[in-house]
Structure 1
Amino acid sequence: MNINWNEIFGITVSPLELVVRGTAIYFFLFVIFRVLIKRRVGSIGMADILILVIVADAAQNGMAGDYRSVSEAFILIGTIICWNQFLDWLSFHVPQLKSVLEPAPLLLINKGQILWRNMQKEYMTESELLSKLREHEITDLKEIEKAYMESDGQITVLKKKP
């Protein structure tokens, strides 16, 4: 068995091209997932996983070009991870960017009343909201002072004081 180490670890595509491709695909996906789609209620569902797999497969060809070695894959993956870390760091140190990169909490219930317009903005149904409220052991909307959808899709509930 003869292993061609140069084929496995050699670099056949310019590392700069790999960085540019990785950067372009990262920012395209970043805009789609963090700015346009913003948030979803609850955890990741099967449809979300399917979308991620399809997007990853579709992006792979545009990002990778004709690379064949693991070294080139390492450069692409490193580029994507670095941009992700940098943007997280930047939004932490520049608060103005955080409001652009992450949506502010959205008020869903105010003084026991559902704010239907805000529910509609997030395509959230009443049954989804009630399900999330039951997780907080709330069965009556009158118990709630305010309820927010956070940037990660979780629901935060502030109960009325007795």
Structure 2
Amino acid sequence: MNPFLDVALRSLAVYFFMFAAIRVFGKNQLSQLNAGDIVLLLLISNAVQNAMVGSNVSLEGGLVAALVLFGANFIVKKIIFKNPKIKSLVESDPVILIKDGIVDNIKMKEQEVSFDELEEAVREHGVEKIEEVRLAVLEVDGNISVISMDKEKSRTNFSRHKRKYPRKSHKY
């Protein structure tokens, strides 16, 4: 077998294994990395490097592995974007943790979000009490979005919405 084809196939196998492993171990693992998570990522990357390139430790072998990983990621993202069924298989849906100040303990257990983590997310969004939260959602990326209710003006306040693609400025 061609050594570069071998590296490409090994890299694809490792990519899809890691993709599945991240899906199985949950999205809340991705939201904030602590020191243990970083060490784990470094050790995993070191462990799978040999699985991807095998005995081919040449520059070309490493570049082929990297190119295959970038290509596979590009293709998977395009497929996910165009096919809702595959998207729901690969990515989990957002989960409502708080609605109108009431915490959904069942969803929190299912998603393995502790009450302390939920309170921390609420405080990070500038809301003092859970009762003041209109909606708290565990997003697909593992972050918790919080929408609070301004009781004085009786309107909803949105806090710190991160945009994936920032708006371009218009020049006249």
| TM-score normalised according to structure 1 size | 0.85
8 Å CA contact 1:106, 1:149 repeated in 2:
yes
Give deviations 1:17-67, integer Å, cap 9, x for gaps.
11111111111111101x212312642221111111111111112211101
Equivalent in the alignment of 1:8: none
Q: Which has the higher contact order (CA 8 A, sep 6+)?
A: 1
Runs of 4+ in 1 over 6 A off after TM superposition: none
Match status 1:37 vs 2:25: yes
8 Å CA contact 1:18, 1:63 repeated in 2:
yes
Q: CA RMSD in A?
A: 1.5
For the pair shown, which has the larger CA radius of gyration, 1 or 2?
1
Give the one of 11, 17, 23 matched to 1:28. 17
Taking the aligned partners of 1:86 and 1:46, their CA distance within structure 2 comes to 31
Shift of 1:146: 1.8
8 Å CA contact 2:127, 2:148 repeated in 1:
no
- The letter for the 2-side match of 1:31 is A
Give the one of 124, 132, 156 matched to 2:113. 124
Taking the aligned partners of 1:152 and 1:68, their CA distance within structure 2 comes to 34
Match status 1:14 vs 2:20: no
Taking the aligned partners of 1:109 and 1:68, their CA distance within structure 2 comes to 51
> Percent of aligned pairs with the same residue?
26
Taking the aligned partners of 1:25 and 1:138, their CA distance within structure 2 comes to 42
Determine helix, strand or coil for the equivalent of 1:145: strand
8 Å CA contact 2:26, 2:111 repeated in 1:
no
